[in-house]
Amino acid sequence: MGQAGCKRLSQALFDYKTEKYVIAKNKKVGLLYRLLQVSILTYLVATTALEVMRYSRGFFPPIYEAFPEQLPPPGLEPPVQGLWKGGKDSESIPNAVCYEDSDCPLGEPVMTGNGVRTGRCLQSGNMQRGTCEIFAWCPVETKSRPEKPLLGKAEDFTIYIKNFIRFPKFNFSKTNVPDTKDRDFLKSCRFDPKNPYCPIFRLGSVVSWTGSNFQEIALQGGVIGIQIEWDCDLDKAPSECNPRYHFSRLDSRIPGNSVSSGYNFSWAQRGSQERNKWLEGSFFCDLVLIYFIKKSHFYRNKKYEEARSVTLLSQRPEGSGHAGNGKVNVEQLRDLQTVEA
């Protein structure tokens, strides 16, 4: 690397970036920004008003719950839940059975249930016995198992697994995907022990290689581990370095194990929605200002300005556009948009 390259590297190493606020006198972008602000503010006010109207019908403490999200996508979307007053406790929950409204104290949380009681006893038909009405996320989750497999016909679904290894000391790398220009290769190939360089795995075959029954897993669920082993002797040819796959069942296979059956993935969302909306509005207006309008180049140069020391100007050779006496006039500073450091 030459002296010029070392100089540029040292200058880039000690660069410091700071925020700069530019007031753009552009009516179109300003109007767009205010419209976004008003829209977001109107949405927040309307949402708050609806929540106040809902809670004004009866006092109930907030229900805290994690946001349901299936991981990884694509997956089965669970029923959309919302806060409702009208759910019923299950009779299997202790103290859920009631005979009159006094058996369901208003605002009392159901410790082993799904929400708080509304003070009403819901009875079916002419039966004197009922269950307490609750204010909760509805529909409530149930642990009942389906009678038929939800994924019973998914045996022919496929999984794409791409794996890399690299030994940087020996400059050696390899992947489980063959180096081919055939665009239809991944559409037609299927993995089997004799064809380890096809990354497309049939779901039913993967389950069978673990010694399990697919219909059983489709009904109750399960966890399967796929281990890819690369045991390579780098003194030999690269063709001798091949992946070996091991398939195993990781979850318990105890029959009737209803206590720990099923898998639930949740993602907690904690009050960042409103803040994100404001940031998205400003970010969108910045994109319009510096990329899409006619004078975008002008605003972009104003927003991202490079500051240099004025002493650098006096170090230029004569004939570069200013007097060679080391003096810098005001007009040159204005044209170059430099800032005295």
Please name the residue that has the structure tokens 């006094």. Answer: 102
pLDDT beyond 60 at 95: yes
By mean pLDDT, which of 126-130, 199-203, 257-261, 283-287 is the weakest?
A: 257-261
Residue ranges of the chain that CATH labels 2.60.490.10: 158-260
Handedness of CA 93, 95, 96, 98 (dihedral sign): positive
The pLDDT of residue 314 = 46
Amino acid at 150: L
Q: Which residues contact 324 (CB under 8 A, 6 or more apart)?
A: 317, 318
The pLDDT of residue 281 = 57
CA-CA distance, 6 to 12, in Å (whole number)? Answer: 10
What is Dmax (Cα atoms) for the chain? 106
Taking the whole predicted model, whether its pTM rises above 0.85 is answered as no
Return the half-sphere exposure (C-beta side, CA atoms, 13 A cut-off) of residue 183.
Answer: 0
Q: b/e per residue, 53-82, with b = 16+ CB within 10 A? A: eeeeeeebeeeeeeebeeeeeeeeeeeebe
Q: Which residues contact 277 (CB under 8 A, 6 or more apart)?
A: 40, 43
Closest CA to 136 of 104, 113, 114, 107: 114
pLDDT beyond 90 at 205: yes
The pLDDT of residue 43 = 87
Q: What is the pLDDT of residues 206-256, one digit of tens each?
A: 999 999 888 888 887 788 899 999 988 888 998 889 999 999 998 876 655
Please, what is the angle between helix 27-56 and helix 273-287, to 10°? 170
What confidence tier does 76 reach under pLDDT thresholds 50, 70, 90?
Answer: very low
Paired strand residues for 82:
138
The pLDDT of residue 88 = 59
On the question of a cis peptide bond just before residue 199, with omega within 30 degrees of 0, the verdict is no
Share of the chain above pLDDT 70, in %: 60
State the average pLDDT over residues 290-300. Answer: 75
State the average pLDDT over residues 80-92. Answer: 54
Retrieve residue 249's tokens: 């069942």
State the average pLDDT over residues 269-288. Answer: 56
| CA 5 from centroid of its chain's CA atoms | 41
Most confident region among 11-15, 35-39, 258-262, 299-303 by mean pLDDT: 35-39
The pLDDT of residue 202 = 92
Amino acid at 284: F
Asked if residues 99 and 114 have their Cβ atoms less than 8 Å apart, the reply is: no
Asked if residues 256 and 220 have their Cβ atoms less than 8 Å apart, the reply is: no
Q: What is the CATH number of domain 158-260?
A: 2.60.490.10
Per DSSP, 212 falls in state -
pLDDT beyond 80 at 257: no
State the average pLDDT over residues 132-145. Answer: 71
CA-CA distance, 234 to 177, in Å (whole number)? Answer: 19
The pLDDT of residue 227 = 93
The pLDDT of residue 338 = 37
125 vs 210, residue with greater confidence:
210
Closest CA to 37 of 281, 283, 259: 281
State the average pLDDT over residues 194-210. Answer: 91
